Amino acid sequence: MSEAPQAALFASDGTPKGEVKLDPAVFGVEPNIPVMHQVITAQLAAARSGTASTKTRSEVRGGGRKPWRQKGLGRARQGSIRSPQWVGGGVVFGPHPRDYGQRTPKKMKKLALRGALSARAAENSIKVVETLDWTEPKTKTAQALLEAIGASRKALIVLGPTNRVAERSFRNLPQVAITRSGQLSAYDVLWADTVLFTTDTLGSVAAGSYDVSDKDFVMESAADAPDSVASSQSPVSGSDDDFEEEGEKS
C-alpha cells in the first residue's frame, strides 16, 4: 500500500471530525493468509473445552460373565455383553478428555493481527472516536453512536481499562463485542464488520505491534482457509470483573 491508510474520526456523539492517519506498519501491510489461517485455527481450537468422554469396554460396568457357552447353541460366540456390538457396551475409538491447545509463536499472532487490521482498514471498516467520556452508562447512547458511524452489523469495540462507563453502555447490545487493546486478536477483528477504536486504544495497539517481517513466515502452500471465521456469537472472552480490576489498578 503506497499511501498511508486513513480511518474516519468521530466525536463521542457520532459527529464526523474528519479523518485520522493510521500507522502503515500496523494497518498497511499485506495480509499473510497462511499465517492468519494458522493463528485463527489455533485460537478456535484453544476455545474447545475438550471434556467429551466415552467409556471403553473395560470401563463399562458388568459383563464379567460369558453370556453363553462357546459351542453347541448355534449362535455367534460372545465373550461379554459389554463388547462394542452390544447395546450398552463400550465405545470404539470414542472421544476422551484432551487438550486441543496449539502452540503459536507471539510473532505469528502479531503478524496475523496486523494482517487482519490491514484488511479491515482497506475496506474502510476501521472507525475511530475521539473519546468516550460518557458520564453514565446508557445503552441508548451507545446505540446512537453505532448508528451515526454506520456500524449497523457486527461491531468490535476496543476499549481501554478506564472506559468502564462505555463498556457498560455497549455490553447489552446484540452483535456487539467488547475487548481491550491488549487482548485484541486476529479472530476478533475478522469476526466484526466494523472495528471501533478510541484515540487512546488506537495508539496502544500500534505501539504493541512489533515489527515482524512477513518473510519470517513464508509457507510453501497455504492450508485450506475456512469459508468464514464469523460467528453469530461474540468471540471475545472476558467478564465485567476484568474491566473493573484494571480500572481499579489504573
How deeply is 40 buried, as exposed, middle or buried, from its count of CB atoms within 10 A (0-12, 13-18, 19+)?
buried
Write the pLDDT tens digit of every residue in 145-165: 999 988 888 999 999 888 899
Q: What CATH number belongs to 6-49+100-249?
A: 3.40.1370.10
What is the predicted pLDDT for the residue at 224?
A: 38
Whole-number Cα distances in Å, 71 to 6, 37, 74: 83, 58, 7
Look at residue 97 and tell me whether its pLDDT is greater than 90: yes
What is the C-alpha to C-alpha distance for residues 219 and 201, in angstroms, rounded to an integer?
32
User: Domain ranges in the chain?
Assistant: 6-49+100-249, 54-94
In which band, very low, low, confident or very high, does the pLDDT at 132 lie, cut at 50, 70 and 90? confident
Collapse the DSSP code of 16 into the 3-class scheme (helix H, G, I; strand E, B; otherwise coil) and give the result. Answer: strand
Q: pTM value?
A: 0.73
Look at residue 122 and tell me whether its pLDDT is greater than 50: yes
Write the pLDDT tens digit of every residue in 197-223: 998 888 888 776 544 444 443 333 333
What is the C-alpha to C-alpha distance for residues 205 and 194, in angstroms, rounded to an integer?
16
Collapse the DSSP code of 57 into the 3-class scheme (helix H, G, I; strand E, B; otherwise coil) and give the result. Answer: coil
Q: Kindly state the average pLDDT of the residues 225-241.
A: 42
- Alpha helices by DSSP H, listed for 16-134, are 24-27, 33-46, 106-122
| Amino acid in the structure at residue 167 | E
In which band, very low, low, confident or very high, does the pLDDT at 248 lie, cut at 50, 70 and 90? low
Q: Kindly state the average pLDDT of the residues 130-152.
A: 90
Q: Kindly state the average pLDDT of the residues 17-27.
A: 89
What is the predicted pLDDT for the residue at 17?
A: 86
Write the pLDDT tens digit of every residue in 33-53: 999 999 999 999 999 999 999
Q: Identify the CA nearest to 109 among candidates 187, 161, 179, 46.
A: 187
In which band, very low, low, confident or very high, does the pLDDT at 241 lie, cut at 50, 70 and 90? low
